[in-house]
Structure 1
Amino acid sequence: MSTNPMRPFALCISFLSLLISMAADTTSPYSPTDYFLLDCGSSSNTTSFDGRTWGVDSASKFSSSNAQNVSFESTADRQQASVEQVPYMTARIFNSQFTYTFPDSAGPKFVRLYFYPAAYSGIHESDFFFNVTSGVYTLLSNFSASLTVAAMEPQVASIVKEFIIHVWENQILNITFSPSPSFYAFVNGIEVCSMPNNLYISDSQPIPLVATKYLFPIDNYTALETVYRLNVGGASFGGERDTGMFRKWQEDSSYIFGAASGEILQGNDTDIRYTPATPAHTAPTAVYSSARRMGPVTNINLKHNLTWIFPVDSGFYYFVRLHFCEIGKHITRVNERVFDIFLNNQTAQEGADVIAWSTGVGIPIYQDYVVHMIQYESRGKQDLWLALHPNMDTGSWFADAILNGLEIFKLNQSYGSLAEPNPEPVRLPLPVLQPQNSKSKGLSAFTIIGAALLFGIFALLSLVYFFILGKRERLGCWESGKAKMKSMRRGGFSLPRELCRHFALSELREATNDFDDVLVIGHGGFGNVYKGYIDGGDTIVAIKRLKSKSKQGAHEFLTEIEMLSKLRHRHLVPLIGYCEEEGEMILVYDYMHHGTLRHHLYGADNDPLPWKQRLEICIGAARGLDYLHAGGQHPIIHRDIKSTNILLDHKWVAKVSDFGLSKMTPSDDPVTTVVKGTFGYMDPEYYKWMKLTQKSDVYSFGVVLLEVICGRAAVDRSLEYEQMSLANWARPCIEKGMLDEIIDPLLMGQIADDCLEKFVETAYDCLLDQGIQRPTMDDVVARLEFALQLQDNADATAEALTLTVSE
C-alpha cells in the first residue's frame, strides 16, 4: 500500500498545533504554512523528546538522486548526557557538494541546522570543515562544529545554527553543503519553518542605526542569523512553548555583567494582552510575564546600570530587538518608570517609558535598533553591551529600568555572507597524575613514567596539530584556496612568468619601505595598496598585498594573474607582476597617478571633474568592459564594476581594474554561481536568481554612470530611506523628467541638453529590471560616443556664436 511521504509532517504539525493551543502561556499561536523536519542519516521516521516527528532525508523529495554517490549515513560514536537522541545521533556525511531542496511557499523562513561534533564512521570530529550556502547567501564558511562547540560559553555538546531567509515567488529553497578541500561535511538535522511576513523584516519600516541620525533598511533581500534569544528574568524553555515557530528562549543570567544583576519580576497574575502592534506570535506570554528590573533602592540605582554583555562577530551589523511589558503592581501610569537604553556605550533611546509606548499594564511592546560592530584586525569577537539606566530628567517617580526579553540577529554583509572565522582551538590541560599507595609503589613508578611519556607525546602532537589547525582557522578559506593553488600547479598550472614578472618578497619590502603605512594609497577587501618604487626607484608601481584575514584569497589572486596576464587593452589596468612567497600574495600594477574615478566625483578634496572629461572617462571604461565581453576567445564577466575599480592614469585615461571576482564563460549563456560583488552596484536579477550574465556588468556600469552625473555614492546611508540607494532614487526621477533633482550641481550649465538626454537615457536603460532589456556594452559605447559628439557639436556652435558676437 502506498504511503504519503508528507503524512508524518502533517501529523506533526497537527499535533503541535493542538499542543500549543492547550499551553497556558500562549495565545493564538502562528500556524506555519511550511514546516519540514529532517533527521539526517536516519533510516526511518523518528520522534524527538518534544514530540515532533522527523522524516528521513535519504531517497526523499528533499535530496537529489545522487545522494548515495556523494554522501553516506552514519551514527555518532558516542552520546553525551546532554545530547538528545533525535536528531543528533545520526548524521549525513558528505565527501562532495550536496544540495537539499525544499518546495516552500513564498515568504520568510527559519532555517535551523543541527550539529553534534563527534566521530562518524571512523572520521574524527576534527576532519569536518565545510561551507553551507543557500541561494546567494553564505551561511557558514570553512565551519568546524567541533571548534565552535568547544569555545562556547556556557559549555554545550551540540549546537543549532538558526537563520532567516526569504523565499521568493516560484523559488525553491536550496541548502548546499560543500566540504573544504581534504575535509568532510556533515549535518544531523535540518528544520525549515515559515514565519509571518512582518515578524522581523519589513520593507517599509527601516530601523534606527545607533549613534547616528540614520535609518537602516532591513528588507527581504537581507538574511539574518540568530545570535541570542533571551527570556530575561525567566527560565529557559524549548520550542514547544513558543508561538508556533519553535524558537528556543534562554535565561539571561549568563550574560549579566557585574554584581548589579537587578531583581527578578514575575507577573504570573498579570493578563498579557496582545495588540495589532504586538501580535500574539511576537513572543510567548512566558517572555512578557517575567522581567529583570534594577531594584527598589533608588539612590543605588542612580549610581550604576543594569548591564548585559554579548560576544558577537566583528565587522557585521546587528539587529537588536528588546521586548518590554509592565507587569509590576506599582507601575501603572506614564512617567513612573523612565530609563535610557545604551548599546555599545552609545545612546539608543532616551526616556524609554514602557507604559507610554504600550498604553497600559500587561500590554507587550518591542523596540528595534541596529548596531554596527566595526571590524578589528586583531580579533574576531567583540562584546556588544546593553545597558539600562534610570532617567530622572522627566521627574519620573522611580529610579528604575526593566527588560522582559531580547533577540539579537546578525545581518549579512554586502556580498551575502553571514559566516565568521572559527574560534581558536582550545588547548585542553593534561590530567594530573595522582600518586599511588605504598603497596604498589614499583608498579606506580612504572605507570607514572609510562604515562608521562605518553602524555608528553600527546602534548607535542596536540601542539603541532593545534598550531597547524589554528593557523588554518585564522586564515580561513585563504589556506584552502592556497592548497588549491598548489594542486593546480601540480596539475600543470604555472604562473605566467613569460608575461608576468615574478618579484621576490625582499624586492617588494624594499619598494615599500617594508610596507610602510605612509605609502598606503588604497584599501579594499583584498588588503592594502601601497605606492612603491622598483628598479632602483626609476619605476613607480601600485602594490596590492593580500591580508591574512581577507575575504578574498588564493582563488581571486590566481584569477587576477590569469586574467590580466592574457589581457592587453588600453582601458584595462596593466599587471606588471606578482609575488607568492612566505605565505604572502602580492600583485604589482602600473601606478595610476590620479587614483580612482570615485575620488574625483565626491567624498574627497580633489577638484571636480568637468563634464566633458567625465564623459570621456565613461567612454574609456565602457570600451574596456566591452573588450572583456567581446574582445577575446571567451567572454569575461567582471562581476565588480564600480567607481573605485575604474582607475585614472597620468593622462586621465580610464582603466578597469580588480579582476579577482571575474568569470570567464564559454558562451553568452547565464552562469549559475554564488553571488559576489558590491552592494549598491549589484544586478538585482543576479542577486535574486544567481544567474550571472554580461548584463550584470551592464547594470553595475549603469550605476557608475549615475555616480558620474549625480556626483554621489551608490549607497549613502546618511540620506533618507527613499534616497539611500542611488539607482532606486534616480530611476523614478528620470521617469518623471526631474533631471534637475539628480544632476550634480557642479555640472550645471556644462551639459548640452541633447547630450544630457542621451547620457541619462543610456544610464536608465542599463538599469532596467530584466537583463534581456538592457543594452550590450558595445551599444553602451556607441551611445556614449554619440553623446560626446552631441556635446562637441553644442560646444562648437556655442564657440562660433561667441566669436560672431565678439566680432
Structure 2
Amino acid sequence: MATITLLFFLFLQLITATISTTPLPYNATVYVLLNCGAQSATTDETDRRWDTDTHFPNFLPSDFSNISTTATASEQDPSVNRVPYTTGARIMKSRFTYTFRVSPGAKFLRLYFYPANYSGFNKAESFFSVTANHLTLLRNFSALAAVTDSSKALRKEFVINVDETQILDVTFSPSPNSYAFVNGIEILSMPTNLYIHGNHRIKLVGQNDFFYINNSTALETLYRLNVGGNLVGSTEDTGMYRVWDSDDAFVVGYGYQTPHFDVNITYTSETPPYSAPRIVYTTSRTMSNHSQSLDWEFPLNSGFYYLFRLHFCEIQPEVLEVNDRVFDIYIGNQMAERAADVVEWSGGWRFPVYRDYVVNVTNPDDRRNKQSITLQLSPNMETKAVYADATLGSAYSNAILNGLEIFKLGDAIGSLAASNHELPSEAPIASLAFPNNKKKRISWHIIVAIITGVTSGIAFFSILGFLISRRRNGGKDSGTSVTKSSSPPSDLCRHFLIAEIKNATDNFDEKFVIGYGGFGNVYKGYLDNGTTTVAVKRSNPSSKQGIREFQTEIEMLSSKLRHRHLVSLIGYCDDKNEMILVYDYMANGTLRDHLYNTDNAPLPWKKRLDICIGAAKGLCYLHSGTKHMIIHRDVKSTNILLDDKWVAKVSDFGLSKVGSVGGTDITHVSTAVKGSFGYVDPEYYKRQRLTVKSDVYSFGVVLFEVLCARPAINPNLPSGQVNLAEWASRSCKKRELEEIIDPNLKGQIAPECLSKFAELAYHCLRKEGVQRPSMGDVVKTLESALQVQEGEDHEVEGSSFPLIINGDAMNEDEIFSDLSEVERKLTSNGISMSVSRSAKVNNVALFSEIITPLGR
C-alpha cells in the first residue's frame, strides 16, 4: 500500500511539474534608481533604467556642486557589473544629503559601492557615515574593507519605514580627512508586512519573552540564502530584486543532501508568492544517512539583535503527513523551536511556510567583534520514538531547510552601525574618525545605548511584569503566558486562562459576537457561573496588529486609572499566546449605534447632551485629573460606550500617550500620526506634535456627529460635505445651522442651547490648538447648555436658529486650508476613507479601527 501511495504522488509530481508556473511578481509602487555621478541615464543588464543624479537637482542640496563632484573609476574590473558601479560616482567632500519624496511605508534602501581609485581620490582614504532620516546605517565605513576577493563591488541593503512626512533623507558624512562616495542608490517599495509588521511579536531565542519589531525598527540585510541551491539573481526574485546567494560558504561539516524537485508550489495568504521565489522552495538541504544534524555558521557583530527568517517547504513525495519529519531548531546553541513540523505548520505537502526568530548576540562593549553564530537543525528523537511503531507509520530521522534570511536590527538609539574591524593596511591614521578620542566616543555611544535600553527595559518590564502574570488569586501558572511575575492587585485586574474565556463565550461561538474591529472580534461573555456579563475583546492572529495596543490598554486601565466615565477593564488573557481583554459589558453599545446607520430609535436631545457631558468629563479626567496627563488620541463616537443606565464611558486606550505632569497647553508629545480619518487634528497631522488639544479637536467632531447624526467622513456626499468638520463649521459660519441638524431633533432644542452647543463645537475645531477650549471648559459649557435647555419650554417649535460665533472674523479659507490639505494627502496616498461596516444592534465596538498602518 505504501508503494502504491508513493507511486501515486510521484505521478502527481510529474503532472504538477508540467503545469508549474512562476507566481506573479510584486509590482513596486515606489521605484527609484539613481546612477550617482553618471553623465546620462543608463540601462543595466536587467533592462532597468538608472537615471543620473546630475539631472535631478530635487534629489540634491542646492549647493551640491560646491561640496561634491562626479568621477569615473580609473580601474574597470571586468567582473563587476557596469551599472551602476563603473559608470560614475558621486564624491562628497563634506556632509551631503539626498532628499527623496516617497509614499509612507516600508522601503528597501540599497546603496551601491565600487571602491576604486577616482581622479584625485585614493580609495584607501574613504571613511564615512550614512544616515537615513534619524537612523544611523553606517559609521566610519570603508567600502574597501568591506569588499571580498570574490566581489570587487558591494551592495548594502536596508529595510526602513518612511513615516507620514513622506520624506527620506539619505545623508553621507565623511570622516575627518576623508571623503564619502556612492555609485548607486535604489529605493523600492515592498508588500505591507513583509518584514516590518507594525508591532510584530517574534519569539526571542533563549528567553521566555518576545521581541517586538515596529515601524521605527530598521533592518540591515546580512544574508539571504537559497539553501541547497545556486545563486538566485535579482531578476529571478518576485519583483523586489532581492539576491539569494548559495549557502555553500556557510555550511559546517558534511553529510548533506541537496534535493531538488520540480514541483508546483502552492502559496497561501500566510506565505504569499512574494515571500520567496519558487526556486528557493523547490531546493533544500536535508541530512544524509551519515549526519546527525544540519549546521551553518555566520559571523555577526556583537551588541545587536538579529532576525532569522527560516523558509521551509516539504517537497519530497514521501514526506506527506504530520510527524513524518520532526526536528529541533537551535540558534546560537539555544533552543529556538522544539518539534518543528513543516507539514503541520504549512498545512500540507508543497505548501511553503516561514518562521521568524530573534537572537541577541551579546558583548555590547565591543561592536567591532564578530561572533560565529550557529544555526543547527537536528531530528527530534522523542517524536521519532513515539511514531516508530509500524502501525503508526515511520517518522524520518531528518531535518530540512529551504531558505534563510538574516537581518541586523537597529538598536535602542536607532543605529545599525558597527565599527570596522579589519581596516585596510594602507589606510593612513588620519583617515580614521577622531583618532585621538576614538575610545571616548565609543564609550559615550555605549553609555547612551545602555542608559536608553536599561531605562526603557526597566519601565516596560516593570509594568508588563506587574500586569501579565498569574491569576488574580495567585493560582498556578499556565506555563504558556508571555510574562510571568507577581500578580497585580485583585481589585485592579484579573488574569484569565484561555479555558475560562472559552467557557465564558461558548468557545468563541459566532452567536456571541457583538462587535468587530481591526484588532479582531468582540464577544459577549458570562463569567462567575453566569453572574457577570462581560465584553471579551480578542485579537485576530491573522490581523498582525494590536500588540502594542494590547499592552497600552492593560497599562492604562489596570493601574489606578478609574473614573465613572472611563470603561472598566476587568482583566486580560495572554494564555497560549492569545491577546484578550475583558471589560464591563456596555448594554447600550456605542454612541454611534444610536446616531446613524442603525435600527435603534433616535436619541432625544437631552440624552445626547448628557452623554456628551459624561464623555467630556472622562476626557477631562485623563487630561488633568491624573498625575501625568494622558492624551487619548482616538476620540470618536465608537469609542464612547453606554452602559445599561446610559452613562457614557470613554473606551479604547490602545493609542493613548502619557505626557508630563500638569497637562498644560504647551505640553506635547512628538509622535507619528495615528487616529481615525475625519477626527485627526490637522495641527497634529502637520507638525506631528500631539497635545491635549488634539483630543479637543476630535471631540468637536463628535459634538457635530451628535448634532447632525452623520459620519465624520462620508465619501458618497458632494465634495463640500464629505468632511463633517469642514461642512458643519462652514454652516455655522454662514448661519445655516438649521440645514445640517438631525431632522429627528426638530422641535426639541432651545435656541440658546443650540447656539451654545454649536459655538462650542465650532471652537473645538479651530485651526490652532491654543485657540481651542480645554476639556474643562468643554464640560462647563455643555453643562451650561443643558441648564438652558432644562429651563426652556421643551416644546420648541421648528424655526430658524441664528448662530453667532462670538467675535470670530477668521477668513473661511484660512479655517479650512489645513483640513483640506489633510484630506487631500490622505486620498492621494490611496488611503480609504470608507466607513467600517455598521455594527450590530447593541454592538460593543471596543476595538480601534486600524484602517491602514499609517493611522486610524
Q: If the length of structure 2 is used for normalisation, what is the TM-score?
A: 0.51
Given the alignment, which residue of 376, 383, 393 partners 2:372? 383
Q: Give the 3-state SS of the residue equivalent to 1:133 in structure 2.
A: strand
Query: In the alignment, is the contact (CA less than 8 A) between 1:26 and 1:242 conserved in 2?
Result: no
Q: Which residue of structure 1 aligns with residue 691 of structure 2?
A: 773
**Could you tell me how far apart the structure 2 residues matched to 1:374 and 1:727 are?**
32
The change in CA–CA distance for 1:29 and 1:727 in structure 2 (over 3 A counts) is same
8 Å CA contact 1:58, 1:67 repeated in 2: no
Deviation at residue 380 of structure 1 after TM alignment: 1.8
- Name the residue aligned to 2:322: 334
Q: Could you tell me how far apart the structure 1 residues matched to 2:26 and 2:168 are?
A: 21
Change (3 A) 1:760 1:74: closer
Equivalent of residue 229 in structure 1, options 224, 229, 245:
224
State the shift of 1:479 in Å.
3.1
Candidates 214, 229, 238, aligned match of 1:243: 238
Report runs of 4+ in structure 1 exceeding 6 Å deviation. Answer: 596-603, 723-728, 737-742
Q: How does 1:184-199 map to 2 (within 5 A)?
A: 184-199=179-194
Partner of 1:79: 76
**Contact 2:124/2:424 (8 A) holds in 1:** no
Name the counterpart of 1:219: 214
Match of 2:775 in 1: none
Q: Which residue of 2 aligns with 1:730?
A: 556
Offset of 1:68 from its aligned partner?
1.1
Structure 1 CA distance for aligned equivalents of residues 458 and 219 of structure 2: 33
Distance in 1 separating the partners of 2:136 and 2:160: 11
How far 1:142 sits from its partner (Å)? 1.1
CA distance in 2: counterparts of 1:394 and 1:87, whole angstroms: 52
Deviations 1:649-689 (A, max 9, x none): xxxxxxxxxxxxxxxxxxxxxxxxxxxxxxxxxxxxxxxxx
- 2:327/2:338 contact within 8 Å kept: yes
Name the CA shift for 1:356/1:375 in 2 (closer, same or farther; >3 Å): same
Percent sequence identity over matched residues? Answer: 42
Matched, 1:551 2:445: yes
- Of 342, 351, 355, 1:367 maps to 355
Distance 1:182 1:478, change over 3 A: closer
The 1:723/1:382 distance shift into structure 2, 3 A limit, reads farther
Letter in structure 2 aligned against 1:33: T
The number of residues matched between the two structures is 475
**Residue 286 of structure 2 aligns with which residue?**
293
Residue in structure 2 matched with residue 593 of structure 1 by the alignment = none
Partner residue in 1 for 2:102: 104
2:332–2:375 CA contact under 8 A, matched in 1: yes
Q: Residue 57 of structure 1 aligns with which residue? A: 53
Question: In the TM superposition, what is the alpha-carbon distance from 1:290 to its structure 2 partner?
Answer: 0.4
Structure 1 residues 214, 63: CA separation in 2 closer, same or farther (over 3 Å shift)? Answer: same
Q: How does 1:380-779 map to 2 (within 5 A)?
A: 380-395=369-384, 396=387, 397-425=395-423, 468=429, 477=433, 479=435, 482=437, 546=440, 550-551=444-445, 722=548, 729-730=555-556, 734=561, 736=566, 757-761=625-629, 764=659, 765=663, 768=669, 771=689, 773=691
Post-superposition shift, 1:139? 0.7
**How many Å separate the matches in 1 of 2:457 and 2:416?**
28
Q: Give distance in 2, aligned partners of 1:315 and 1:307.
A: 23
Please tell me the residue identity of whatever aligns with 2:269.
P
Going from structure 1 to structure 2, the CA distance change for 1:602 and 1:399 (only over 3 Å counts) comes to closer
1:358: how far off?
1.1
- What residue number does 1:315 align with? 303
Please list the CA deviations of residues 699-741 of structure 1 after superposition, one character each: whole Å capped at 9, or x if unmatched: xxxxxxxxxxxxxxxxxxxxx9558977993389648476999
Check the 8 A contact 1:128/1:183 in 2, yes or no. Answer: yes
2:250 is matched with: 255
Counterpart-to-counterpart distance in 1, 2:113 and 2:554? 41
CA distance in 1 between counterparts of 2:70 and 2:168 reads: 23
| 2: CA distance, partners of 1:368 / 1:597 | 24
- Secondary structure of 2:191's match? coil
| Cα displacement (A) at 1:774 | 6.8
* Matched residue, 2:28: 32
Cα deviation digits, residues 409-460 of structure 1 (max 9, x gap): 1110111101111122355xxxxxxxxxxxxxxxxxxxxxxxxxxxxxxxxx
- Looking at structure 2, the residues matched to 598 and 333 of structure 1 have their Cα atoms a distance apart, in angstroms, of 43
Provide the rounded CA distance (Å) in 1 between the counterparts of 2:175 and 2:571: 50
Mapped partners of 2:461, 2:310: distance in 1: 38
Q: Residue 91 of structure 1 aligns to which amino acid in structure 2?
A: A
Over residues 245-276 of structure 1, what are the superposed CA-to-partner deviations in whole Å (9 max), with x where a residue is unaligned?
A: 0000000010001234x1001011x1111111
Structure 1 unpaired stretches of 5+: 1-22, 428-461, 484-526, 528-545, 557-595, 604-719, 743-752, 776-807
In 1: Cα distance, 2:340 partner to 2:194 partner:
22
CA contact (8 A) 1:44 1:56 kept: yes
1:478/1:552 contact within 8 Å kept: no
Instruction: Rate the CA distance shift 1:64–1:598 in 2: closer, same or farther, 3 A.
Output: closer
Structure 1: distance between partners of 2:36 and 2:359: 36
Could you give the per-residue CA deviations for residues 586-641 of structure 1, whole angstroms, max 9, x where no partner exists?
Answer: xxxxxxxxxx99999998xxxxxxxxxxxxxxxxxxxxxxxxxxxxxxxxxxxxxx
Change (3 A) 1:323 1:597: closer
CA distance in 2, matches of 1:195, 1:373: 28
- 2:315 and 2:626 map into 1 onto residues whose CA distance is 64
TM-score scaled by structure 1? 0.54
Per-residue CA shift, 1:10-53, capped at 9, x if unaligned?
Answer: xxxxxxxxxxxxx9873111100010111111010111122211
Looking at structure 1, the residues matched to 457 and 410 of structure 2 have their Cα atoms a distance apart, in angstroms, of 25
- How many Å apart are 1:214 and its aligned residue? 1.0
Q: CA deviation at 1:62?
A: 2.1
Local SS of the residue matching 1:161: strand
Counterpart of 1:685 in structure 2 is none
Structure 2: runs of 5+ lacking an equivalent: 1-18, 388-394, 449-454, 463-545, 573-620, 631-657, 672-683, 694-856
Structure 2 counterparts to residues 342-353 of structure 1, below 5 A? 342-353=330-341
Kindly indicate whether the alpha-carbon contact (under 8 Å) linking 1:25 and 1:286 is maintained by their aligned counterparts in 2: no
Whether the aligned pair in 2 keeps the contact of 1:199 and 1:282 (CA below 8 Å) is: yes
Amino acid at match of 2:125: D
Q: Distance in 2 between matches of 1:85 and 1:129?
A: 24
Structure 2 distance, partners of 1:66, 1:731, is: 53
TM-aligned CA distance change 1:94 to 1:328, over 3 Å: same
Contact 2:142 2:423 in 1 (8 A): no
Q: Secondary structure at the match of 2:85?
A: coil
Do the aligned partners of 1:294 and 1:400 also contact (CA within 8 Å) in 2? yes
C-alpha offsets along residues 549-604 of structure 1, whole Å, 9 cap, x if unaligned? 54269xx9xxxxxxxxxxxxxxxxxxxxxxxxxxxxxxxxxxxxxxx99999998x
In 2, Cα distance between the equivalents of 1:204 and 1:136?
Answer: 19
Q: How many angstroms apart in 2 are the aligned matches of 1:728 and 1:418?
A: 32
Q: Deviations over 1:371-396 (max 9, x none)?
A: 11112546521112100000121235
Indicate conservation of the 8 Å contact 1:339/1:353, yes or no: yes
Matching residue of 2:90: 92
Whether the aligned pair in 2 keeps the contact of 1:215 and 1:721 (CA below 8 Å) is: no
Post-superposition offset of 1:758? 4.6
Q: Is the 8 A contact 1:478 1:548 kept in 2?
A: no
> Alignment partner for residue 134 of structure 1, among 121, 132, 145?
132
**Any conservation in 1 of the 2:105–2:161 contact (CA below 8 Å)?**
yes
Offset of residue 170 of structure 1: 3.4
CA contact (8 A) 2:558 2:569 kept: no
Give the 3 Å change call, closer, same or farther, for CA 741–349 of structure 1 in structure 2.
Answer: closer
Distance in 2, Cα, partners of 1:373 & 1:599? 20
Q: 2:173 aligns with which of 178, 185, 196?
A: 178
Distance verdict in 2 for CA 1:360–1:54, change over 3 Å: same
Q: CA RMSD in A?
A: 3.6
Supply the distance in 2 between the matched residues of 1:357 and 1:115 (Cα, whole angstroms).
Answer: 40
